[in-house]
Amino acid sequence: MNLNYLFSLLAVTVLFLVPWVGVDILGKKELFGLIIPYFAVLIFIGGFIHRIIHWAQSPVPFRIPTTCGQGQSLSWIKQNKIDNPSTTMGVILRMILEIVCFRSLFRNIRLEYREGKHISYEWEKWLWLGALAFHWSFFVIIIRHMRFFTEPVPFFIKALEDLDGFLQIGLPGIFISGFVLLAAVLYLFFRRIYIHQVRYISLASDYFPLFLIMAIAISGIIMRYFTKVDIISVKEMTMGLVTFHPVVKEGVHTIVYVHLFLVCVLIAYFPFSKLMHSGGIFMSPTRNLANTTRVKRHINPWNYPVPVHTYEAYESEFREKMKEAGLPVEKE
């Protein structure tokens, strides 16, 4: 039985308790409110740039796009310009659909055995829906939180907040994205536990970001709906961070530091984890290249002159020995 998720759960539990003890008992508010956020951002920027440069330097000697449709061929054969693009515009459209709608995951199927050894293929729609809900709710939450780092708050952030909080039930108003994110990450976790093939190949590094994001969502929900948090003081702290005039305000609830610390851990961990696929998708040669292998000749740009030993030279060098061994030669 794969119990890797227990190690990740224990690690996130410890991370949840560290700022609570550090702020509530040790009083290290400057450490968790000022130093760690700056340190996490520096790690994120450095790690992100390093990964992108490393991928950019990886050789791609020829076109290797994945194709799921008819390529460009004869004029009377209809080309699938999205699944097998041959132009830059087709690649751009394909990338937009992939990033915004997870088009390849939408077409994913799962093999199952039914009634003995009969093979059946089923559309994996729930994984696509769960992944879509997770990524879009995460994106909405990030944009919505930009109100804490901008003054005045841009109009589109206010509009997004109004749309996200249209379900007005009591005070404070409910933001749907927070609960959707929690539900989506719970689904992705239980899917890894329930499907034995996925559970078998899952590592602790697969569970850790799920538990970490889960903890961030739970601490955010607690902070908004169950505790009294001084939002004005929180914004003064965040604005001090982005304007490089950091300040630690008194009276800020400990849950704010817990939430901030978990976010900092996620930011610092991001470039070195599988979460980096959000940046790597733009560097993937299977997605960002047009399929023009039958139209253009592609020469490896990393080719360099190497000494060659032709067969003629080989035979001239070993002709006598080849004759003694009874091997045929072209020239006597």
Task: State the pLDDT at residue 258.
Answer: 94
Does 234 reside within a domain?
A: yes
Question: Which of 68, 4, 1 lies closest to 202 in space, CA to CA?
Answer: 4
The more confidently predicted of residues 170 and 311 is: 311
- What's CA 51's distance to the chain center, in Å? 13
Domain tally, the chain: 1
Does 332 reside within a domain?
A: no
Task: State the pLDDT at residue 35.
Answer: 93
Instruction: Tell me: pLDDT of 2 over 70.
Output: no
Does 213 reside within a domain?
A: yes
Instruction: Tell me: pLDDT of 262 over 90.
Output: yes
The more confidently predicted of residues 210 and 118 is: 210
d(CA 50, CA 270): 12
DSSP 8-state symbol, 287: T
Task: State the pLDDT at residue 15.
Answer: 94
Instruction: Tell me: pLDDT of 180 over 60.
Output: yes
Task: State the pLDDT at residue 64.
Answer: 86
Return the half-sphere exposure (C-beta side, CA atoms, 13 A cut-off) of residue 156.
3
d(CA 21, CA 45): 28
Q: Which H or E element spans position 112?
A: strand 109-114
pLDDT tens, residue by residue, 17-42: 999 999 888 888 899 999 999 999 99
d(CA 130, CA 220): 20
Q: The domain spanning residue 237 has which CATH number?
A: 1.20.950.20
d(CA 220, CA 242): 21
Cβ atoms within 10 Å, residue 258 = 25
Task: State the pLDDT at residue 170.
Answer: 61
d(CA 242, CA 161): 21
Task: State the pLDDT at residue 116.
Answer: 67
Task: State the pLDDT at residue 322.
Answer: 83
- Domain extent, residue 277, equals 4-324
Q: What is the pTM of this model?
A: 0.83
d(CA 305, CA 309): 13
DSSP 8-state symbol, 32: I
Cβ atoms within 10 Å, residue 187 = 17
d(CA 244, CA 53): 28
Does 329 reside within a domain?
A: no
> What amino acid is encoded at 278 in this protein?
S
pLDDT tens, residue by residue, 199-256: 888 888 899 999 999 999 999 999 888 888 888 888 999 999 999 988 888 888 899 9
Q: Can you tell me the mean pLDDT for 118-133?
A: 85
Does 330 reside within a domain?
A: no
Cβ atoms within 10 Å, residue 264 = 22
Does 289 reside within a domain?
A: yes
Task: State the pLDDT at residue 53.
Answer: 92
Share of the chain above pLDDT 90, in %: 41
Question: Which of 172, 170, 180, 202 lies closest to 189 in space, CA to CA?
Answer: 202
Contacts of residue 96, defined as CB under 8 A and 6 or more positions apart, other chains included, come to: none
pLDDT tens, residue by residue, 59-99: 777 788 888 888 888 889 999 888 899 899 999 999 999 99
d(CA 137, CA 187): 14
Instruction: Tell me: pLDDT of 189 over 90.
Output: yes
Task: State the pLDDT at residue 139.
Answer: 94
pLDDT tens, residue by residue, 301-314: 777 788 888 888 88
Instruction: Tell me: pLDDT of 111 over 80.
Output: no
Contacts of residue 205, defined as CB under 8 A and 6 or more positions apart, other chains included, come to: 8, 273, 274
Does 59 reside within a domain?
A: yes
Does 331 reside within a domain?
A: no
Instruction: Tell me: pLDDT of 57 over 80.
Output: yes
Task: State the pLDDT at residue 214.
Answer: 95
CB-based contact 119:103 (threshold 8 Å) = no
Share of the chain above pLDDT 70, in %: 98
Instruction: Tell me: pLDDT of 115 over 80.
Output: no
d(CA 41, CA 241): 11
Question: Which of 231, 125, 224, 214 lies closest to 174 in space, CA to CA?
Answer: 224
DSSP 8-state symbol, 271: G
Task: State the pLDDT at residue 164.
Answer: 84
